[in-house]
Amino acid sequence: MILLFSGVPITARHLAGTKAAKQWGAQLHSFCIGLEGSPDLKAAREVADYLGTIHHEFHFTVQDGIDAIEDVTYHIETYDVTTIRASTPMFLMSRKIKSLGVKVVISGEGSDEIFGGYLYFHKAPNKEEFHQKIKALHQYDCLRANKSTSAWGLEARVPFLDKEFINVAMNIDPEEKMINMDKKRIEKWILRRAFDDEETPYLPKKEQFSDGVGYSWIDGLKSHAEQHNSAKLTVPGGPSVACSTAKAIEWDASWSNNLDPSGRAALGIHNAAYKKNSGPNGSVNLVPSLTACHG
């Protein structure tokens, strides 16, 4: 059984006792990629140890990513800044996975969009706009996951985007998905609660994945772009924040002054939302995230 890291916790529980487990064994393989030393690589190792997976940790350098950008842009067929930034490490990881002889992986794409897991959802003005965000998924995260993997003949399957599951998830009143600190509802609250099993936890108690492959990758791309400034003139596009969305810019005017497409553009929003609900030492207790660590 082969998975990109975000699909591991649920699948590990489901696999036990199945026909596949009897035939191939119950131990899963998990995959993660990042710049050496990035926090999410450490978090992935901790979760892999907890779940007992055969874990494959891949490293890349900023130069590796820059060298791959031309191929990445060709395969994913977009000039969107954030999508290229996130697709590049996934493209590099897919090549390594395919070289191991793997043909199919499972990934957790879509859970953040249908349950409100990204930082910018703190600013969604109403449940109608919150609900409509999923309509653009094919232009961004699904585009990345599909084409970054298929470039190497690797098939990524996405259970959270199964049509029957989406029908259930999207028929939930979006008001119940919105971040509401008065009701102690953080990002992706419904999904977290569904798998918040105190007796037999799906994940170890820890902070959520946050930095993706490492911010040095984003900073390295910026530095490279500054040295090749004329390329901007050939690239159509618009402002975006956090996770490939121009719509979220409309939700808070302050974001127009900080169009860093990484998650850092929204960190102030995130911290401010939790401040009034923090513990006595400023700590915040979160149910572990089920999101991917390759972004």
Nearest to 206 by CA among 111, 89, 291, 274: 291
Instruction: Give 271 or 138, the one with higher predicted confidence.
Output: 138
Q: What is the dihedral of CA 211, 213, 215, 219, to 10 degrees?
A: -150
Cα–Cα distances in angstroms (integers) from residue 9 to residues 19, 43, 48, in the given order: 19, 13, 9
Residue 181 corresponds to which tokens in the numbers above? 């600190």
Segment 81-102 mean pLDDT: 91
What is the Cα–Cα distance from 48 to 31, expressed in whole angstroms? Answer: 9
What is the Cα–Cα distance from 69 to 221, expressed in whole angstroms? Answer: 10
44-71 pLDDT, tens per residue?
A: 898 889 888 889 999 999 999 999 999 9
Judged by DSSP in three states, 25 sits in coil
Residue 36 corresponds to which tokens in the numbers above? 């050496």
Nearest to 221 by CA among 262, 185, 186, 179: 262
pLDDT at 232: 55
Segment 78-87 mean pLDDT: 85
pLDDT at 97: 95
Q: Residue 154 gets which letter from DSSP?
A: P
Q: Residue 34 gets which letter from DSSP?
A: E
pLDDT at 294: 39
**Residue appearing with tokens 């500054």:** 226
Q: Which helix (H) or strand (E) holds 88?
A: helix 81-99
Whether pLDDT at 1 is above 50: no
Instruction: Give 127 or 26, the one with higher predicted confidence.
Output: 127
What is the Cα–Cα distance from 216 to 11, expressed in whole angstroms? Answer: 31
**Residue appearing with tokens 């513990």:** 279
Judged by DSSP in three states, 29 sits in strand
Q: Would you mind telling me the total number of residues written for the chain in this entry?
A: 295
CB 289 within 8 A of CB 209: yes
140-193 pLDDT, tens per residue?
A: 778 889 999 999 999 999 988 999 999 999 999 999 999 888 888 888 889 888
**Buried b / exposed e along 113-124 (16+ C-beta atoms within 10 A):** bbbbbbbbbbbb
Instruction: Give 243 or 176, the one with higher predicted confidence.
Output: 176
Instruction: Give 32 or 269, the one with higher predicted confidence.
Output: 32
Flag the least confident range among 72-86, 92-106, 226-240, 242-256: 226-240
